[in-house]
Amino acid sequence: MTQYCFLNGKILPIEEAKISPIDIGLLRGYGIYDGLAAFGGKPFRFMDHWNRFVSGAHILNLNIPITEEKAEKVIVELLEKNGHMERANIRMILTGGETLGGIEYDFENPTFYILTEKWDSLPEDYYKNGAKLITYNHKRELPEYKTTNYIRATVLQNFRKEEKAVEILYVYDGEVLECATSNIFLVKNNTLITPSENILKGITRKVVLELADGKYKIEERSVGEEELKTADEIFITSSFKDIIPVVKVDDFEIAGGEVGGVTKDLMAKFKAYIAVPE
């Protein structure tokens, strides 16, 4: 089945989509990115993702050549054309377009494209019995924004697989930050604790905070690395992973290696929240 993408104003087969070899996104890695989920042929929390995309474009001085309304319509059309009417992943990418002199770009002629792909769940065991994180000392450049710079995360994937971990947890100067493609939450005495600075504030993270509000105490703050070992529960959140319980960090078992009650409660609430009405 032919798969389609949206590139610079047109929906076309992926095999016909061409990007210039002198695009600044390729030559200099200069661009922004966003990844969002779709359920029942509709993008999930699209406005939240779009607002984050706009903030990234602003900080890199990139021109988004499409309106929010048009982008959402294009996504819906792509999901239908590609047969992704159940659950799917959506990726939006924006670069400065072709370079001028190898380092500059024309603000008026960016490169913008959208991809959709079938969603494949991670192993069910991760959700039922919990998963492992491995720590790595790193802080992303411009951490509050979702740029196309995933160099460190990509380099570490073989290490992650060797360690049988679901994610890489970035720590820096003794502080817990974020995972390579997820946010992290600690639970202590029925209080949700999550880092607040030097991270990308994910949309699933935002939804979890909304679902927890009024039932659990919430602390968005700096989190010391030593707090990982005293947490009652740990879980991570991501648009492509939902909520995954964490029962091990490096070689340390979290709270006896059992998935905790707060995590289970929030997983159930999130599952109900994203459910598509029949």
- Inform me whether the pLDDT recorded for 182 exceeds 90: yes
Q: What is the CATH number of domain 124-274?
A: 3.20.10.10
- The answer to whether residues 31 and 146 touch, using CB atoms and an 8 Å cutoff, is no
Residue that is written with structure tokens 């974020």 in the block: 178
- The partner residues of 88 in beta bridges, in order of sequence, read 38, 118
Whole-number pLDDT of residue 278: 62
Residue 225, Cβ density class (10 Å: 0-12 exposed, 13-18 middle, ≥19 buried): middle
Nearest CA to 145 among 27, 26, 34? 34
Residues 6+ apart with CB under 8 A from 125: none
246-262 residue pLDDT tens? 999 999 999 899 999 99
- The answer to whether residues 91 and 34 touch, using CB atoms and an 8 Å cutoff, is yes
Whole-number pLDDT of residue 183: 98
147-180 residue pLDDT tens? 999 999 999 999 999 999 999 999 999 999 999 9
- Inform me whether the pLDDT recorded for 33 exceeds 90: yes
Whole-number pLDDT of residue 113: 98
pLDDT band at 1 (very low <50, low <70, confident <90, very high): confident
Token pair, residue 120, equals: 């494949």
- The partner residues of 224 in beta bridges, in order of sequence, read 175
- Helix (H), strand (E) at residue 274: helix 261-274
CB crowding 17-30: b at 16 or more within 10 Å, else e = bebeeebbbbbeeb
- The partner residues of 111 in beta bridges, in order of sequence, read 95
Whole-number pLDDT of residue 276: 75
111-123 residue pLDDT tens? 999 999 999 999 9
81-120 residue pLDDT tens? 999 999 999 999 999 999 999 999 999 999 999 999 999 9
CATH 3.20.10.10 residue window(s) in the chain: 124-274
Rounded mean pLDDT of the chain? 97
Whole-number pLDDT of residue 245: 98
CATH 3.30.470.10 residue window(s) in the chain: 4-118
Q: Please state which architecture CATH assigns to domain 4-118.
A: 2-Layer Sandwich (3.30)
